[in-house]
Amino acid sequence: MRDIQLPLNQTQKVRLQRALQQLESLYGNVHSGNSVTVADTIPVNYDDGVLRGHGTMDRDGQVVATLCGVVERVNKLVYVRTLRARYKPEVGDIIVGRVVEVAPKRWKLEINCNQDAQLMLSSMNLPDGIQRRRTAVDELNMRSIFVENDVVCAEVRNCPNEGGVQLQARSQKYGKLEKGQLLTVPPYLVKRQKQHFHHLEQDGVDLILGCNGFIWVGEHVEARDSMIVDQVNNAPGETSLETRQKICQIANAIRVLSTLGFNLNLEVILETVNLSTKLNLPINEMLGSEFHVLVAEREAERRSSKNTKRKG
């Protein structure tokens, strides 16, 4: 576990340390030998035709790590995944980004990567929803769709070595995001899953876990096939106080989990929200030291119980 900077009193420090040590022991039992530092030897079987990947080198017939991180194995490929590096896109990733420039026939987006991504005008649905060739008029109207600082959800289409990451937004679930909060967490806390879009029906909230570490929590939107133009024309009403409070509660739960270094998925986020509700904790007090300690203790208890059931 990484160092956690919180204003803790002595009792809270002891409780947090105990919970984190319990989590480390549980994690170590399952993932022992996966974490490496620079110059550590990675055990491999050369008879299987192992391929050395990123973060590894050959030294005296042994595979040695050149980075600090976690050893990953994909078929015969062995590589080291750094934990605190910037986001490395893969085709098919769901990402949330912010528009930084409206360029000819494309928008440039900041996606927490080493370089900006590009969303081509030809790689997204037009406001009229008709599939056709893009014209000069469409290019002139680009600012009616996205402008600088707009938050956009898209999918990674291509990752060329040169020219930047290419995005696409040809589905109704992609497009401009409004009436919510954009959170930034370390990308390694968001694992690639089958589902990154979550509609919390009981709260009227949409949760999008971007693989790039950008997370969106906002008011639920039924469809985005109109690419927001219809929403602008219809002058949508103000978000209700109850929905705004729920958005803030979920966002603060994510902030707490990120500070503690816990992986972010729907289950653990909702459990953290439910814990604050059960304690009748005001939303602003969720960011206090005591709630961080309580969340760590609950997570240690949950993982310990799950580990016991697995053994049983």
CATH top class, domain 37-84: mainly beta
For residues 48 and 61, what is the distance between their CA atoms, to the nearest angstrom? Answer: 15
Per-residue pLDDT band at 270 (split at 50, 70, 90): very high
The mean pLDDT of 93-122, rounded to a whole number, is 94
Residue 302 CA, chain-centre distance (Å), reads 22
Domain boundaries, the chain: 37-84
Strand partners, 108: 101, 118
Structure tokens at 164: 């930047």
Does the pLDDT of residue 226 top 90, yes or no? no
So what's the pLDDT on residue 230? 44
Which has the minimum average pLDDT: 155-169, 194-208, 245-259, 285-299? 155-169
Residue identified by tokens 């993932």 is: 31
Contacts of 72 (CB under 8 A, 6+ apart): 78, 79, 80, 81
More confidently predicted of 309 and 38:
38
Q: pLDDT tens digits, residue range 45-100?
A: 777 778 888 889 988 888 898 888 888 887 888 888 777 778 889 999 999 999 99
Asked if residue 208 lies in contact with residue 182, where contact means CB atoms within 8 angstroms, the answer is: no
Per-residue pLDDT band at 134 (split at 50, 70, 90): confident
Give pTM, 2 decimals: 0.82
Does the pLDDT of residue 258 top 50, yes or no? yes
φ, ψ at 33 (rounded to 5°)? 85, -5
Interstrand relation of 69-74 and 197-200 (parallel, antiparallel or unpaired): unpaired
